[in-house]
Structure 1
Amino acid sequence: MIRKAANRRNVRRKPGPRADIRAVRYSAMVLAIVLVLALCISPAATVQQIRLRRPLLSLAHERRGVENALHMNPGQPLVRLDRKGIERTLEALPWVRRAAVTLTGRSVMASVIPRRSAYTLRCSSGQFEVDDDGYVIRPKRVGIRLPEVAVDGRVRLSVGDRIRDKRLLGGMTAAMLAERVECLRGATVSVDRNAGICFNNWDRVTVVIGDVEDLPRKLAVVRAIYAARSDIGVTVSEINVAHPRMPAGRPRQQSGDRPADRRGV
C-alpha cells in the first residue's frame, strides 16, 4: 500500500487546458512586444514627411504656429502618432476653426480651416478681429475694412478668448443685422455702459437703437425712414428708434454742417 501511494505521487501530471492557455497568452504577449519594438526601430515604420494641405494661412506667423503645433519630426515612429491630440492642439490656436490629421502611408497630412474675421472690436483692451462665433482671432490688422463694434467702459479681452459679455454680443448682433440694411451698411456700432446701441452712420447721422430687444423691427423702421428721405442727413443729426412705434429725430444745429457724400466713403 505504501509503495503504491509513493508511485502515485511520483507520477508526473500532464499539462491541462489551463496551462495551454497560459502558454498561448505568454507567447502572444512576447510576440506583441517584439512587434512594437520592431515598429519603433524599423525605418519603414516612421514618419517620412509632414504636409500642411491648402488652404494655407495668409499670415506667415500663423502658418508657422500651425507648423510648430504639429510638433513632429520626420523619423518619428508611427506608433507614437496621436492624431486626435494633434488636432486638439491645432484647434487651440486662435485662428484655427477646425483641424484634421490623416496618415497616408508614411506621410502625415494636416489640414486646417481658418477662422474668418467678421467684425473688428474696439474696447479698452485694444482692437481685435472677431469671427461670427465670437472668438477673438488676432489684433486688428492695418487697412482691414470690416463692420466695427466700439464698446464703452472697461472690457477685459485678449486673443483666443470667446466673447460672452452680453453688451459685446448685442453689438455684434446689431452689426450683423445692419449689414442687411443698405442705409446702415458700413456704420460703426457703439455700445455704451448700459448696453445701449447706436449706429454712427456714413452720413453723420447717429441712429439710436437702445437695447437689442425688438432689434429687427427697429432696423425696419430705420430702413423705412431712409427710404422716404434718403438725404435725411442734411437736416437731421440723430434718429431715435429705441421706441419703434414712436421714432424721433433731432435737427442739425448748423445748416452748413452737411453730411459727407457716400460715394466718397
Structure 2
Amino acid sequence: MQNKNTKETKKIDLHPKKCNICGGLVIYTNNNLIYGKSYGSGKCYLCTQCGSYVGTHEPRPTEALGLLADSQMRTLKKKCHSIFDEFWNCGSNGKQRRYLRNMAYKRLATMMRIPLEECHFGYFDLLQLKKAYNCCQVLKKRSETYTWEHTDVTKKWLEAKAAGDKEIHDHIGSVRIGTLCFDLIERKGKRDKNYLYADLYVGGIDTGYGYGKDDYPYTYVDWISRQWPVDKLPKNYKSFKKEIEEKLTMLIKHARSITLKRKQYSLQEKILDDVKIW
C-alpha cells in the first residue's frame, strides 16, 4: 500500500507504441518524414493515425523526449518556452544558467502542484500545457512588476531637483520586486556631484543583518549597487519611474550570483517570489 503522503509519479512511456492522443499505432522512424531532412537524433515516434509525433534524445535515439504532440500541443510548448526560457537563459555562464533553470522548474512545479520530476514541457498533455502557460504568464508578470514605496517623498525630491536644489536628501524611496528591495539614496560622489544610488537588500536570507515584520530576515548586499548622476535623470515622476525600472531590470539581468552563508542565490531567482515587504 502506498503512503498517503507520497505523491504518485506519472509514468511516461519513452518507447511508445500507442498514441497518447488518439490511441493509434505509433512507429519508430526517421524524422525526415516530418522535417524533410534529418534533424537532431534523426529519429522520432510517429502516430500512423493522427500524425502526432515526438523526437528522441540524441545520446539515446530510441528514447522519446516525452509524449507525442499534435499541432496544438506543439504551439503551446513553444509559447511556454518563449516565456520560461527568459527566466534562466540570462545567466552569466553555463553553471548559473543550469542553476536558474532548475530554480524556475521548481517554482513551476510548485505552482502546478506536481512533483519536480514530472515538470517538463515534453511530459505535459494539452490540459497541463494550458495550465503551464498560465503559470508562466503569472511568473513573467511577477518578474516585471515593481512596487514603489514612499512615492510622495520621491515626487517631492524630483520637484526639488527640477527647481535646482543641490542639497543631499538621503533616502528618497524604495523599489521592490519579489524579495529584492532597492533603497534609492542620494549621495555626494565624484567631483562633488550628486548621485542616486540603488542599495540592494535581499529578503528571506538570514545572515543576522536584520529582521522585519514577523522576524522575517533580510540582508544588505553591498557589492551589488549602481549609481547615476542626479542631473542626468528625468525630473518627471512617470519618466523617472520608467527609467529607474529599466536600469534595475538590466542590473538584475546581468548581476552574477551572490553567495551568502555558503549558499548561492541569483537575483533573477529572487524576482520570481511574491513581493515581500518587511
TM-score range relative to shorter protein: under 0.3
Q: Which has the higher contact order (CA 8 A, sep 6+)?
A: 2
Instruction: Give the structure-2-normalised TM-score.
Output: 0.26
